[in-house]
Structure 1
Amino acid sequence: MKKWKYYILASLAYIGVICLIGVVEKQSPDANIKSISDAFWYAIVTLTTVGYGDFYPVTPIGKVVGLIVIIGSIGVLGYVIGEITSKFNQYMEKKKYGFWGTDFDGHYIIIGWNSFGRQVAEQIFNSGHKVAFVVNSKADVDLIKDVFPGDNCFCLFADYYNMEAYDKVNIKKSKGVYVNFEEDTKTLVFVLNLKKAYPNSNIVVTCINPELKDTFVNAGIRYVISQSEVASRLVASYIFEPFVASYTEDLITTSISGFDSDIQQYRILKDNKLAGAEYMDAFHELKEKFNAVAIGMVSHGKIIKNPSKGQMISAGDYLILISDGNTKPKLETIFGVKEGE
């Protein structure tokens, strides 16, 4: 309140000086400032640095008061420009650090930033999806924006444990949330709080200690990946089945060029002609028309590997395919959705 009192007093003093120059000048027969309105016009022209020269003080007292108006106008102009610049900088800073939020829908959220999180984000971006990052370091925001420039990337600087902040990344409309902390205990405590605040969120975590995998599952986290467990399986495969391991590693990586192959999943919409079809019929059609190989499906949340003859496909199911980058746009057209949606 004290700050506003100073502003009011300064404004009144400035207006008083303007009125004073009008009163002083109109008493001189040679004056061209003959009224209070002329004095205000003189002050406005002076304040805006236009300098028409149509009004100016001619009396000694008027010139002294006019000098005060000039100096006061410089102060007012400097203050106004400074305030506008400050407000603009504050707005841009809040926008840069995500305080205004995002309208992303059907996107993915990565909480926490490190080299592993960057690799995960690259795979998601390569598949054409949007990613919102939540980090607790402004330096990480700058780094992420340098690494992933563009409209598909949004960054929020926030306290991880401020659950209200996740509304700014539109977490309720996200398709998946990856918690990327480097300590299992920190991850476990955090996901318990996040699950409580947003029970319908699809949360994915990685754990360092494979013995804690069941603990995360019991906490309600459906997808828990043990980094050491996955790495050990891949290493073992390279030892005795190197070509299989190499092919597997290639398939789980999002295709970048038109000749890269990867595994994709596509949701069956109600108006898709494959809804109600037999899996084997879909298998042959996809292979013959698109050179895409169906290797499984998901029905009622259950993965069916290499379905047998007679397996039917229903709306809401997912087909799991292998295809290359050239085929992906065609598949997205016939399925009516992007991979993973």
Structure 2
Amino acid sequence: MPLIMRTMLKVLRVPNTTILITVLAFILGCATVAYAIEPSTFRTWFNALYWVMTTMATVGYGDFYAKTWIGKAFSLFIYVFGIGLLSLIIGKIIDSISTIYKHWEAGKMHFHGKDHIIIINWSKKAQYAIDEILSYSPASHIVILDESDKHPIVDRQEIHFISGDPSTEEALDKAMIKQARAVIIFADTRIDEPALADGKTLLIASSIERLHPDIHTTVEITQDKNIPNFRHAKVNEFVLSHDAVSRLAVRSALQQGGSEIIHQLISREVGDDIYEVPVRAEWKTYRDAFQGILERGATLLSDRGDLGINRKLNDPIPAAARLYVVADEATYRLLKSQA
């Protein structure tokens, strides 16, 4: 028994390429020998190859079979060694698939794609963000980059996970940062001190800016006093962790029903939403855009962050304008298709 175990362990350590070449050589060699032994039975070399494969796979259709005692003895040889070799290669394939899945689950595999969204630092808020992204665009590719060692959403095969330090070039390269469309950095919930959490977020944002200056970056900040530092790092947008919740609670208390409106505007799954629409050639002023959008059942909200454009309707629309409207999805698609 020890001899058999040692032999099996040696075989399992043989490189996959060597095993594959050995099995192919065995199959082709057996087909050649079988055809040489009984050419009248198989008629062509391909038929002999077909018989060898069905014999090794234990299928045995019976349309071809050895008729001489030499052919039958050779069949026994294939039974003993061929089935074992085929089982070995099938086991290797299953083992390789299992290894690939384990590496995927542990975040060790590179992401291959482009125009994806990278979510950095896993938390409940990151999960909500992913749900919101997929509700808006189900075909979006998402990459989670976190220092944990296990995929946080193993039942979502379309979401890739990379384990590593998000501030390092190695981890960001695995996430294909240079081909990504946007990055969202959440505060690390494993850090209790707000200043340290913001410091880590700033370090990550700086690394991203160095590798891909043109990418759109959104970060979560725990202390508003650190906003100037993030502006210096050229972060596109930032969200204060506790600020939005506190302000929403106050408005709900002082202006009842206001929270419901805000909830609809920030959720893709409830009510109307905020969409960016392209500027049409016939819109010369904000008034033209306001009336054109209103006729189609939507409301002009802002030009970028300027919410006061409805008080300057006679102003011309600048070339760099980005108009946002409040509408349902059907109206938004209509506005987009007519641009």
- Output the TM-score relative to the length of structure 2: 0.69
Pairing 1:333–2:334 present? yes
How far apart, in 2, do the equivalents of 1:212 and 1:196 lie?
Answer: 20
How many corresponding residue pairs? 304
Q: What code does the residue aligned with 1:305 have?
A: G
Verify the 8 A CA contact 2:30 2:52 in the aligned structure 1. Answer: no
DSSP 3-state at the match of 1:252: helix
Compare CA radii of gyration and give the structure with the larger one.
Answer: 1
1:98-157 superposed Cα distances (whole Å, 9 cap, x missing partner): 745235x4x5432233211222233333334625131444331315x2xxx8xxx53233
Q: What code does the residue aligned with 2:143 have?
A: F
Change (3 A) 1:64 1:9: same
What residue number does 1:73 align with?
Answer: 82
Pairing 1:156–2:165 present? no
How far apart, in 1, do the equivalents of 2:29 and 2:292 lie?
Answer: 86
Fraction of identical pairs, as percent? 15
Pairing 1:286–2:297 present? no
Verify the 8 A CA contact 2:286 2:314 in the aligned structure 1. Answer: yes
How far apart, in 2, do the equivalents of 1:92 and 1:238 lie?
Answer: 47
What residue number does 1:134 align with?
Answer: 144
1:56-112 superposed Cα distances (whole Å, 9 cap, x missing partner): 5637xx877754442111112212322343455556777887745235x4x543223
Q: What code does the residue aligned with 2:316 have?
A: M
How far apart, in 2, do the equivalents of 1:11 and 1:291 lie?
Answer: 67
How far apart, in 1, do the equivalents of 2:333 and 2:31 lie?
Answer: 70
How far apart, in 1, do the equivalents of 2:97 and 2:55 lie?
Answer: 25
DSSP 3-state at the match of 1:317: coil
What residue number does 1:29 align with?
Answer: none
How far apart, in 2, do the equivalents of 1:309 and 1:279 lie?
Answer: 5
How far apart, in 1, do the equivalents of 2:314 and 2:34 lie?
Answer: 97
Superposition deviation, residue 236 in structure 1: 3.0
Pairing 1:181–2:187 present? yes
How far apart, in 1, do the equivalents of 2:338 and 2:104 lie?
Answer: 31
How far apart, in 1, do the equivalents of 2:92 and 2:240 lie?
Answer: 52
What residue number does 1:82 align with?
Answer: 91
Superposition deviation, residue 248 in structure 1: 5.0
How far apart, in 2, do the equivalents of 1:22 and 1:251 lie?
Answer: 74
DSSP 3-state at the match of 2:234: coil
Superposition deviation, residue 196 in structure 1: 1.0
How far apart, in 2, do the equivalents of 1:20 and 1:155 lie?
Answer: 49
Q: What code does the residue aligned with 1:178 have?
A: I
Between stretches 302-311 and 67-76, larger displacement belongs to 302-311
How far apart, in 2, do the equivalents of 1:335 and 1:168 lie?
Answer: 29
* Counterpart among 304, 318, 323 of residue 319 in structure 1: 323
Superposition deviation, residue 203 in structure 1: 0.5
Change (3 A) 1:285 1:69: closer
Change (3 A) 1:185 1:70: same
What residue number does 2:262 align with?
Answer: 249
- Output the TM-score relative to the length of structure 1: 0.69
Change (3 A) 1:140 1:169: farther
Superposition deviation, residue 201 in structure 1: 0.8
Task: Could you tell me which runs of 5 or more consecutive residues in structure 2 were left unpaired when the two chains were aligned.
Answer: 1-12, 189-196
Verify the 8 A CA contact 1:121 1:131 in the aligned structure 2. Answer: no
* Aligned pairs for 1:30-49 within 5 A: 46-49=55-58
Verify the 8 A CA contact 2:118 2:145 in the aligned structure 1. Answer: no
* Aligned pairs for 1:180-219 within 5 A: 180-182=186-188, 183-219=197-233
Task: Could you tell me which runs of 5 or more consecutive residues in structure 1 were left unpaired when the two chains were aligned.
Answer: 27-31
